[in-house]
Structure 1
Amino acid sequence: MIEITNRLNLKEEYKGKELWNQTLCYPFYIELDNTKIGCIGFNTNTHNPVNVVEILHLEIKRELRGQGFGRKVMRIICELADKHSIILDVMPEPLDKSSKHTRDQLRAWYADFSFVLCNPRGFTMERHPKKEHK
């Protein structure tokens, strides 16, 4: 079972570590059967309305990528956002130059979860909560 836990130790080596130290980010581990498989960071900064949460970072350990874990995590996040009427924001960007996904591929991935570009020239995508959720 995949869980999102707040037991993150920033000494762990994740690419988002520097970002977390510089923002109002809330980092969480992604765990599978009590084993850390990745991390996700959220931002609820003062510039956003109360019901908006920004996804700053989503990372699955390199050796576990391509197995659907990121997709499962995003489904959990979207279900929680729907349940609590939260708008999700994200700026899809590759983690670094070694990332196998381009910005366009990441945009398409987020679009699968009903994220839409805020404007054609912009980089930010957002997802509004669905009225009916399970």
Structure 2
Amino acid sequence: MARRKLTHEGTLLLDSEGLSKLLDDEEPVVALVAEARSRGMEVVICALTIIEAVHACTNKARLSWILSGVRVTSVGDEEARAASALLMESGLHGHKYAIDATVAEAALRQRRPVVLLTSDVDDMTKLCGDRIHIVGV
């Protein structure tokens, strides 16, 4: 995972791969989340990220513990429309990019600066442009 210097305050947002690696207790992601918290950053995930990251073998107790320590953003009508607009602006479309667009939309409305931990660096760059610091996982 590429390391980017975290700032003080702001937001660290995790996509499904970030959440999955946190659930699997992978040291680089655990360390990045801990560093973000120590710097006063809020750790956030989009509600749809839970759906994308959780599977039959997910440790439910660990999932509950992790979710208790992050803020989960909702996806309602307004957020869905904004995510749809991001898809149109970026030239992406269809169900393949729907959750990425909702994660990008969630990132764009967080307290700045925002660091997005993602496995989809190219797609998230298309959706967020240079408004968000994107870190590959």
Question: Which structure carries more relative contact order (alpha carbon 8 Å, separation 6+)?
Answer: 2
State the TM-score, normalizing by the size of structure 1.
0.32
Higher normalized helix content (fraction of residues): 2
Give the TM-score normalised by the residue count of structure 2. 0.31
